[in-house]
Structure 1
Amino acid sequence: MKTLLKSLCLFSLIFTSFLYAQTVTKSTFLVKGECAMCKERIENTAKKTGAKTANWNANTQQLEVEFDATKTSADQILKKIADVGHDNEKFAAADVVYGNLPSCCHYDRAPSFLKKEISSKPVKNDHQFFVRGNCSSCKARIEKAAASAGADSATWDAETQIVTLNFNPEKTSADLILKKIADVGHDNEMYTSKDDTYKNLPGCCLYDRELPLGVKSDLVHHDEAPAPKKDFSQHADHFDKSIEEVRLIKLADATALSKKETGLTFNIGTKELLKAACCNLSESFETNATVDVSFTNAVTGTKQLKMLGLDQKYTSLTKELLPSIRGLAAPYGLNLIPGRWIGGIQLTKGGSTVVNGYESITGQINTELLKVNEKPETAINFFADANGRLESNITTTSQLNEHWSQSLLLHGNATLGKIDSNNDGFLDQPTGNQINAAYLLNYNDLEHSGLGTHFGISFVKDERFGGQTAFDKKIDRSQQNAYGVGIDLSRFEIWNKTGYIFKGKPYQSIGWMNQFTTHQQDSFFGNRNYWGNQNTFYSNLVFESIIGNTNNKFKTGASFLYDQYDEDYLTQNYKRTETVPGLFFEYTLTGLKYTLVAGARTDFHNLAGTQFTPRLNFKYDVLPKTILRLSAGKGFRTANIFAESQQYFGSNRQIEILGNGGKIYDLQPEIAWNYGASVQQEFKLFNRKATLVADFFRTDFQNQVLTDLDISPQKIVFYNLEGESFANSFQTQLDFVPAKNLEMRLAYKYYDVKADFLGGKREIPFMAKNRGFFNASYATDKTDKGAFWNIDATLQLIGKQKLPNLNANPSEYRLPEYSKSYTTLNAQISRNFNKNIRAYIGGENLLGYTQNRPIIDTENPFGNYFDAGMIYAPVMGANVYFGLDFKF
């Protein structure tokens, strides 16, 4: 009896399991999404609709579900998922629901995953194929060609790029129909149309032949980074199973304004950097409207960036998110990062995150170096210009194994030409050379072990000589009468960044960054000597997690900054050591239409005292294509008056410091608040995507170290602000595509920058109130071999600028109150012969405008009135350059 009961129980269990197995269904569906919030929303909705398990993968865009077919169905689950905003292969989300998703969840809705309903009766002769096209004219042409080849019916969908064919296999075949479609100009998964046929299509029908099959041409106008891998194999009945994956590559714009970032952040890619010569970081912004680039003086040939109407020193310049161009590196550091080493630049206007430090006042510019992208690559670049400047770059990135990759970056340049175009007896640019090398090693196993690390080391040696043409660097200065300038720089950096993502918690991570830098400058300007050495150690520990769910994220951690300065100016020595331990916390709240980032840090500066730095950024998606941003934040820094004023060392002005008891040059630290607001609007112009951005920022200084050039033409006087100092910045920028392959950018900027100097409130010198900007870029269609032309041009209008008061000088050595307005034009033409060879030729300052008498009293360089620092316009006339790029 017991045996019988056991048998009945076992039989019942097996039978029940069998019945359950018959009703439990395992299925995989394509569901669109973008981020961790999407994953949570999709999986929770599926489970609420009856799914036993649900797992959505952002990379493959696939949802794996198990459900009891007696209680729910695939249609019910997918319908509910569409109801909360996620398109899938059976249902599309309502536009209103999609628009109300948080901006980080806004996936690309084209191409669609949606499949057409198929009759319950199987139709053996109904087939689907990928066919490229753009518009209603394409649809008519494709369907007509299919009909002429014997198809009973043909329906082409522009959204999915799929043609559905119904035909009798005894009368025709898919091969014949697709051949006929290719003959009228439309590439498909079996045949490619002839070039002449494609080129003769109407302009609206010219799809992008470089995109993967099934991807709409207008995707090239999207502005985000490359999309993750996605599986499109279920779209086609005749998908080639020998291909492991089909990858949707969303082509990034040259400069893209991120819609997801809370701050006003521009991502500058290599495409933008190739629009100009871009020999170093200072020249990487020639085609960018946000940053102003200007020469600092007439003898050193260096350039300076300005943002929001203030000097470069108020912008945080980082490399790999580590402090880079600061302290003694401020005057020449931009020249020490070669343009061909740059993998990308992130530019943020206004106060940046507190995680990266306290020094950002007007914004942050972060430079990322080249790393392995899709495949290993070695590139060689040669550059030469008409003024005798020669450069060469060798960069190689390679994958060592599954987890390790490396980058080797080499650069060398020499300026050999002694140019004096205005015949004033002084070189227009210094001669000299630079040797630069860096090595990067990367480990990435985030997917499995959660560990990643990055190591870097770099060294640069740079020598420059300028001054009078008669100056000979080989002769001791005591034995010659000519005025000379010599600048000898050396810099060494070593850094590491290590991060760990907690297993099973993709939202929780910890990272630790460390960097050591030594920078040395040995220089002379006529009879004026300057020597400086800076040793810096920086460490930053960051922990990131959530509070409850991914709508509430936080970052917290501790940082430490050590700066040791040793400077000799003339016969006086200045030494100081700054130690700055700090703590920070940053909270991010994400709602349906808004993102709020609130952060604060406290730094315990041994010389400047305890400093509290709060920052706030708010983004609100008014509409899916209308974004409002607000920001407010505080920053502080310690001034390095000798390094940051070297543009005036090419003169005989005497330096005077009016101290007030501070511990750094007898001066107090600089403290400022920055407030900003911006509106970003996307719309259609010429039936193509356009973006309009308008922003306003104001910077108010609580304390500032003023550099006063007006007290006397023979003095530079430094003192702390007593009163008001502010900078108002307004900019509006329009990016649009008026025709195929033609991109344009228009911008206007207005600055109002004033301070209370000892002599009263005055405009800050060398700052144009009005600036205009225009950039156009045109590319021809690629040939079968991948060849194409690129033409780029940038026109800038710089308004009049307030000049220092030199009225105490004799009349021949004075300047007007304001400079004249002027216009500059840069242009470049490049030819890509294939994917591996590129040649380019271009010109800078092609309109040839130069400042009249850039150096005051050139006849007496050791006299009282000599001054080479009063520069407001180009010193050199039109310059032409040529370059070659090779990739392997």
Structure 2
Amino acid sequence: MKLYISRIFLGIFLVSSQWILAQALSRHQFSVKGKCEMCKTRIESTALKAGAKQAVYSIDSQTLTLETDNSTSTDNILQKVAEAGHDNEKFKATPAAYEALPACCHYDRDSGALQTTAEQNEHSTKKENEFFVRGNCESCKARIEKAAKEAGARSAEWNAESQKLTLDFDPATTSSDKILRKIADAGHDNEKYRAADAVYKNLPSCCLYDRNIPFGEVNPKVHAEEGTNPSHAQHSLSETEGKTIEGVTVIGSKAATSLNKKEAGMVFNIDRKELLKAACCNLSESFETNATVDVSFSNAVTGTKQLKMLGLDQKYTSLTKELLPEIRGLASAYGLSFIPGRWIEGIQLTKGGSTVTNGYESITGQINTELLKNAAKPETSLNLFADFNGRTEANITSVSKINDQWSQTFLLHGNGTFGNTDMNKDGFLDRPKGTQINAAYLLNYNDLEKSGFGSHFGINFIKDERTSGQTDFNKNISQDKQSANGVGIDISRFQVWNKTGYVFKGKPYQSLGWMNQYTYHQQDSFFGLRNYSGKQHTYYSNLIFESILGNTNHKYKAGASFMYDGYDETYLTDQFKRNEIVPGVFAEYTLTGLKYTLVAGARVDFHNLAGTQFTPRMNFKYDITPQTILRLSAGRGFRTANVFAENQQYFASNRMVQIMQNGGNIYGLKPEIAWNYGASLQQEFKLFGRKSSVVADFFRTDFKDQVLVDLDRSPQQLTFYNLEGKSFANSFQTQWDFIPLKNFEVRLAYKYYDVQADYLEGRREVPFMARHRGFLNLAYATNKNTKGGFWSFDTTLNWIGKQRLPETSSNPQEFRLPAYSESYAVLNAQISRNFNPKIRAYLGGENLTSYYQKNAIVDFRNPFGNYFDGGMVYAPIMKANFYVGLDVTF
């Protein structure tokens, strides 16, 4: 089977090479009438059958771009296109051919045969100089008007609500065609030209308009922001049968979170509006209003929260920043706190199998974070935050243009937790004290419209120190000279990265990208009388070529990657060193049909310690109707476990660590391998006269050689070993989003998990995983006043069912835990006031139900005894906490 699949991808590479190395072709562009995706498929396939080497049809601009050799007549191609039913600038379809088209393909024929491009340009100057141009915000307005003036317009005025651009220009020196082309080169679709995908994706997240709004309709996002009826913002953007709609919002009138209907996989786009619904001081707190990701409650040892997806720990999700590997290896425990929430421009969350181009480690999905960059005008923001229990934060972000091609971003973050917080009165801190300094600089170059080049450079430095343990612990006195039990963690981290891309001239579908990153991470820490330290050097490189086979219905990516990880760890007196060297190659093919999209890919990685690994993945989407979408996915992933770094929450105990080696090359263990399968159904409908959506999905993950963390063999042991038998996770989720009243958004979700593994003592549920979870999020915003001010109210209720707890029956009676925890609910809420677009104040509360775990630490009175265990946290350990904050933009 592996050989058969490998031959398929070898064939793809060979075909790709033939296209890339083909002799020089002539390029032509003609006006052709069409209406929908079915028209696009028919026109392109007819042109290819008539001898075109490549054929790309744009519905928006009504143009067919051909590449032909010298032996092929373009007249013959256009004649065949007309015979297929499509008028063009040289030939008109017969009435019989036109009537034979499906009803959805019947374009307007009133104007007769199409004019040539030159005739169109001449005629356009005789009309009122008003054109439809897509955009969202003030940044779009500035960019569109600037591009128009650079192309020769005397004046340009763009209206965000009507999506209309009014021009004044001298026909002797320029033309509307030239101006609109320049605007498309700047990233904005218009009624004549469509922006290249690479340019569009490089716009700031606030400028990413919906590319499927029919020209002539108002912009629903603008209406939503101005407080008009959300039902207008939620109506179907295109009712044409078979046309895929991109960027439909899931939660309400403004796309704070959107499920991309064009993607084959389940890809959620989360923008800054969603992040502002909660405190969101760092990435670990960015998903508290998201039903897909489960956020564990921070324990007193690490002080950070952990994420879970599909019922499995965070380590099985690929966590990237700017599509580069980020939270992995030694950063597993604390990495989420290294990305401040105010630095985030947007998050892309992929549920289930992700693309093979981003690596082999993704098993349950991928979470990619994009940092602030590429502002159309200079903007500096200040954020101040403080809670009532001694935590303070400050963020300064500054994004500015250097010139037309260069822009830069300065990011600065500082936080501190002061004072002793001990709400349950057990003598231990409920969260660590400490400070963090985090600084980053980003430099961006964008010259795609001229040279085709774009580049992004970044550098980041972090210093993080935290202290935990008993309240009377003194970090200035060595552990062996004081009676108090303490925890000390000191982390230094440095990163530098670059992403460079090139879009081939005249071929917006063809590009080459190269990403490189170096990371240095050092941790020195102690937990009571045991110490743990580690250093990690990582170099990552990824080269990706993207193009098409014939037309844009057949796309492919191919490339090579390289990963180097150098680890040097010390636990107690034992030292563990290893170097992981992983070159790899990959290919991915995307087939787009009228109602379906198939993405199939595979990669081969040559791991020096884990051996050669073959990783195939597939995602399939079928539009049963424009409002009903079915998705299927399947894929394989593998990873090497970092048993010490990933389980530091258990170090604050007197458990002895045991690794049961079985001949593997990493701590004596084999790499973890998993297969993930998924299916989802998305249904959209009208409720209360407004858009509503229901999404139901099921995923299953099966493991081979999983590194099990066994807490049950003995309460005094922490045992690691490879799975012998079965380990699986079944995840079912259903989510309902609707808008019962104007400006009032509701999100309801229910999740069921069945996660079990064959431990040495038999099959058991994985501990600390509730089978049943409920979720409710309510969001309401008032209409904007004349100064742009408004109120917003957000509240989230999480209900967590009972969880299996580790076996402690061999402990004395007073130090035993029940077999299962009790269920509980946690309520978070926030009120914010936008005084104008530049000033925002907010007040919020976390865990307003004040439920907390009373027995968070076993035998807390004897922290150096055999039964002491601070790692058994399954619920909040702090009561209600309140916070305030201020955002100011200059």
Aligned to 1:739: 741
**Counterpart contact for 1:79–1:91, Cα < 8 Å:** no
How many Å separate the matches in 1 of 2:281 and 2:90? 66
**Partners of 1:648 and 1:212 in 2: how far apart?**
47
Retained in 2: the 8 A contact 1:329–1:519? yes
* 2: CA distance, partners of 1:415 / 1:742: 35
Q: 1:59 offset after TM fit, Å?
A: 7.9
Match of 1:122 in 2: none
TM-score for both structures, normalised by structure 2: 0.77
Structure 1 residue aligned with 2:633, among 631, 634, 637? Answer: 631
- Which position in structure 1 is the counterpart of 2:784? 782
Q: Show the counterpart of 1:817.
A: 819
Aligned pairs for 1:279-294 (under 5 A) are 279-294=281-296
Task: Show the counterpart of 2:577.
Answer: 575
SS of corresponding position for 1:862 = coil
Partner of 2:839: 837
Residue 421 in 1 paired to residue 423 in 2? yes
- Superposition deviation, residue 398 in structure 1: 0.9
Distance across 1 between alignment mates of 2:382 and 2:97: 51
Residue 363 of structure 2: aligned partner: 361
Aligned to 1:375: 377
Conserved 8 A contact 2:33-2:88: no
Residues 1:713 and 2:726 aligned together: no
Aligned partner of 2:768 in structure 1 is 766
8 Å Cα contact 1:565/1:575 also seen in 2: yes
Q: 1-side partners of 2:277 and 2:861: how far apart?
A: 40
SS in 2 for 1:290: coil
Quote the Cα distance in structure 1 between the aligned partners of 2:591 and 2:48.
26
Partner letter of residue 539 of structure 1? S
Q: Distance in 2 between matches of 1:398 and 1:41?
A: 45
Change (3 A) 1:624 1:475: same
Q: Give the AA of the match of 2:699.
A: F
2:340 alignment partner in structure 1: 338
How far apart are 1:474 and its partner, in Å?
2.1
Deviation of 1:377 (Å): 1.5
- TM-superposed deviation, 1:534: 0.4
TM-aligned CA distance change 1:802 to 1:83, over 3 Å: same
The one-letter amino acid paired with 1:669 is: P
Residues 608 and 339 of structure 1: is their aligned pair in 2 closer, same or farther, counting only changes over 3 Å? same
Q: CA deviation at 1:39?
A: 7.2
Task: Give the aligned residue type for 1:631.
Answer: S
Q: CA deviation at 1:685?
A: 1.0
Query: What pairs with 1:305-344 in structure 2 (closer than 5 Å)?
Result: 305-344=307-346
Show the 5 A alignment for 1:790-829: 790-829=792-831
TM-score (norm 1): 0.77
Residue in 1 that maps onto 2:547: 545
Structure 1: how far apart are the matches of 2:842 and 2:325? 33
Once superposed, which parts of structure 1, at least 4 consecutive aligned residues long, lie more than 4 Å away?
26-34, 37-48, 54-92, 159-162, 207-213, 215-219, 222-225
1:472, CA displacement in angstroms? Answer: 1.2
Secondary structure at 2:284 match in 1: helix
> Which one of 838, 848, 852 corresponds to residue 846 of structure 1?
848
**Aligned twin of 2:471:** 469
Q: CA separation in 2, counterparts of 1:80 and 1:435?
A: 68
For 1:585, the equivalent position in structure 2 comes to 587
Q: Which amino acid aligns with 1:722?
A: E
Shift of the 28–618 alpha-carbon distance from structure 1 to 2, 3 Å rule, reads closer
Q: How many angstroms apart in 1 are the aligned matches of 2:552 and 2:331?
A: 40
- Displacement of 1:436: 0.4
Match of residue 400 from structure 1: 402
Contact 2:744 2:778 in 1 (8 A): yes
CA drift at 1:549: 1.6
**Cα offset, 1:478, TM superposition:** 2.9
Q: Is the 8 A contact 1:296 1:869 kept in 2?
A: no
Distance 1:32 1:744 in 2: 36
Per-residue deviation, residues 755-806 of structure 1 (Å, max 9, x unmatched): 0000000000000000000001000000010000000000010000000000
Contact persistence 1:298–1:855 (CA under 8 A): no
| Alignment partner of 1:863 is 2:865 | yes
Q: Quick check: 2:230–2:743 contact (8 Å CA) kept in 1?
A: no
Q: SS state of the match for residue 506, structure 2?
A: coil
CA distance in 2, matches of 1:375, 1:32: 37
- Are the counterparts in 1 of residues 582 and 608 from structure 2 also a CA contact under 8 Å? yes
Alpha-carbon offset, residue 598 of structure 1: 0.8
> 2:453 touches 2:501 (CA, 8 Å); kept in 1?
yes
Identify the range of structure 1 (871-880 vs 541-550) with the bigger mean alpha-carbon deviation: 541-550
The alpha-carbon deviation at position 448 of structure 1 amounts to 2.1
State the Cα deviation string for residues 78-134 of structure 1 (Å, max 9, x = none).
Answer: 989996857978889xxxxxxxxxxxxxxxxxxxxxxxxxxxxxxxxxxx999xxxx
Cα shift at 1:450 = 1.3
Deviations 1:647-668 (A, max 9, x none): 1001010000110011100000
What SS class does the counterpart of residue 578 from structure 2 fall into?
Answer: strand
Verify: 1:678 aligned to 2:691, yes or no. no
Query: Which amino acid letter does the alignment assign opposite residue 551 of structure 1?
Result: N
CA contact (8 A) 2:311 2:755 kept: yes
Find the aligned partners of 1:210 and 1:251 in 2 and give their Cα distance. 9
Structure 1 residue 56: deviation in Å?
A: 8.1
The structural deviation recorded for 1:419 is 0.7
**Structure 2 equivalent of residue 663 of structure 1:** 665
Give the aligned partner of residue 221 of structure 1: 234
Question: What's the CA shift for 1:417?
Answer: 2.6
Q: Is the Cα–Cα contact under 8 Å of residues 295 and 301 in structure 1 kept in the other structure?
A: no
Aligned equivalent of 2:512, options 489, 499, 510: 510
Change in CA separation of 1:211 and 1:256 when aligned onto 2, cut-off 3 Å: closer
Residues 91 and 862 of structure 1: is their aligned pair in 2 closer, same or farther, counting only changes over 3 Å? farther
Cα shift readout 1:163-196 (whole Å, capped 9, x = no counterpart): xxxxxxxxxxxxxxxxxxxxxxxxxxxxxxxxxx
Distance in 2 (CA, whole Å) between partners of 1:335 and 1:658 is 32
Unaligned runs of 5+ in 2: 1-28, 50-54, 67-74, 79-86, 112-129, 133-160, 165-219, 239-251
Q: 1:43 to 1:398 in 2, by over 3 A?
A: farther
- Shift, 1:477, TM fit: 2.5
* Deviation string, structure 1 residues 416-464 (Cα, Å, up to 9, x no partner): 1311111100011111010001111111121221111111110111100
Instruction: Output one character per residue of 1:124-177: Cα deviation in whole Å (capped at 9) or x when no partner.
Output: xxxx999xxxxxxxxxxxxxxxxxxxxxxxxxxxx9999xxxxxxxxxxxxxxx
Q: Match of 2:402, as an amino acid?
A: L
- Would you say the 8 A contact 2:299–2:430 is kept in 1? no
Q: What is the one-letter code of the residue matched to 1:347?
A: L
SS of residue paired to 2:505? coil
Amino acid at match of 1:446: L
Closer/same/farther in 2, CA of residues 871 and 81 from structure 1, 3 Å limit: farther
Q: CA deviation at 1:719?
A: 0.5
Q: CA deviation digits over 1:182-216, x for unaligned, max 9? A: xxxxxxxxxxxxxxxxxxxxxxxxx9985799x99
Tell me which residue corresponds to 1:387: 389
Q: Within 5 Å, which residues of 2 pair with 1:91-102?
A: none
The structure showing larger relative contact order (alpha-carbon pairs under 8 Å, at least 6 residues apart) is 2
1:295 paired residue number: 297
- Counterpart CA distance in 2 for 1:439 and 1:858 is 44
SS at match of 1:278: coil
Q: Structure 2 CA distance, aligned partners of 1:657 and 1:224? A: 57
Equivalent residue letter for 1:377: E
Conserved 8 A contact 2:382-2:396:
yes
What secondary structure is seen at the aligned counterpart in 2 of 1:812? Answer: helix
CA distance in 1, matches of 2:39, 2:857: 61
Kept after mapping to 1: 8 A contact 2:480/2:529 = no
Asked whether the 8 Å contact 2:347–2:369 carries over to 1, the reply is yes
- How many angstroms apart in 1 are the aligned matches of 2:677 and 2:709? 24
Task: Let me know the Cα RMSD of the aligned residues.
Answer: 3.6
Q: 1:324 to 1:208 in 2, by over 3 A?
A: closer
Q: Which runs of 5+ in 1 are unaligned?
A: 1-25, 49-53, 93-127, 131-158, 163-206, 226-249
Looking at structure 2, the residues matched to 276 and 694 of structure 1 have their Cα atoms a distance apart, in angstroms, of 25
Q: Do the aligned residues in 2 keep the contact of 1:737 with 1:744 (CA within 8 Å)?
A: yes
Where 1:422 maps in the other structure, the secondary structure is coil
Indicate if the aligned counterparts of 1:588 and 1:597 stay in contact, CA closer than 8 A: yes
**CA offset at residue 553 of structure 1?**
1.0
